[in-house]
Amino acid sequence: MVVVAHPDDESFGLGAVLGALVEAGMDVRLLCLTAGEASTVGAGPALVEQRRHEVLAAAAVLGLASVRLEELPDGGLSTVPLDQLTALVEQELADSRLLVGFERLGVTGHRDHSAATAAALRVASAHRLASLEWGVPDEVARQLGALVGTRFTGFARGAGEPRQLQVDRAVQERAIACHLSQDPHNVVLRTRLALQGDREWVRLVRRGIRLRS
Ligand SMILES: [Zn+2]
């Protein structure tokens, strides 16, 4: 089960990793906590509806098994009580055995990402389920900051070592292309993908229940 803050996080951020999980035969469920209404890119009265269509189309491309879209405040997830976020994750959990999300520091500097992951990690911990956090290595975070002025962060220290995955970006690129309102060619995304090539970094934390390999 994937828990993200915004429509496009599943593609711009996690797309290659989710593609790999689906390719490995997993049923991947998506919970997206906001409608992305605060985006300054593509802003307008139809933005929420458009982003809803975009994330559904992207989920279909990625081969996700189900999608649940919530409408908590975009830009304000960190002010929503963690219990409330956790309850939503619990409602969607079903028989999931792996919680997937952005790295706990938020990756891009957006606090919504950290809030979504905090809820996912809390549920993982409570149910002794494994968790998988997607992030960028320190060097990529540093270069994105230097090249395009972002506030990306690497992996939190002391929470387990990230591991590198070789990924195929073809499906991710098709999912990214669904998010027309968010500029699939935006410089931050394109710079990250150029820096990383076919590599992604994830932190897997096991909590007692074995995953099938
Ligand atoms: Zn986001």
Q: Can you give the CATH number for the domain in which 70 is found?
A: 3.40.50.10320
In a domain, 30, yes or no: yes
- For residue 212, being part of any structural domain is answered with no
Residue 196 included in any domain: yes
In this prediction the pTM is 0.95
Q: How far is the CA of 51 from the centre of ligand 1 (A)?
A: 12
Q: What is the pLDDT of residue 40?
A: 84
- Residue 135 Cα to ligand 1 midpoint, Å, equals 12
Q: Give the distance (Å) from ligand 1 centre to CA of residue 6.
A: 5
Helix H, strand E, coil C: the string for the chain is CEEECCCCHHHHHCHHHHHHHHHCCCCCEEEEEECCCCCCCCCCCCHHHHHHHHHHHHHHHHCCCEEEEEEECCCCHHHCCHHHHHHHHHHHHCCCCEEEEECCCCCCCCHHHHHHHHHHHHHHHHHCCEEEEEECCHHHHHHHHHHHCCCCCCCCCCCCCCEEEECCCHHHHHHHCCCHHHCCCCHHHHHHHHHHCCEEEEEEECCCCCCCC
The pLDDT score that the predictor gives to residue 210 is: 58
| Overall number of domains in the chain | 1
146-187 per-position pLDDT tens digit: 999 999 999 999 999 999 999 999 999 999 999 999 999 999
Å from CA of 27 to ligand 1 middle: 23
Distance between start and end Cα atoms, the chain: 17
Taking 50 as the pLDDT cut, the residues of the chain under it are none
What spacing in Å lies between the alpha carbon of 192 and ligand 1's midpoint? 15
Residue 210 lies in a domain: no
pLDDT confidence of residue 209 = 58
Range of the domain at 98: 2-205
Q: What is the pLDDT of residue 121?
A: 98
* pLDDT at res. 211: 59
Instruction: Report yes or no on 31 lying in a domain.
Output: yes
**103 C-alpha to center of ligand 1: Å?**
12
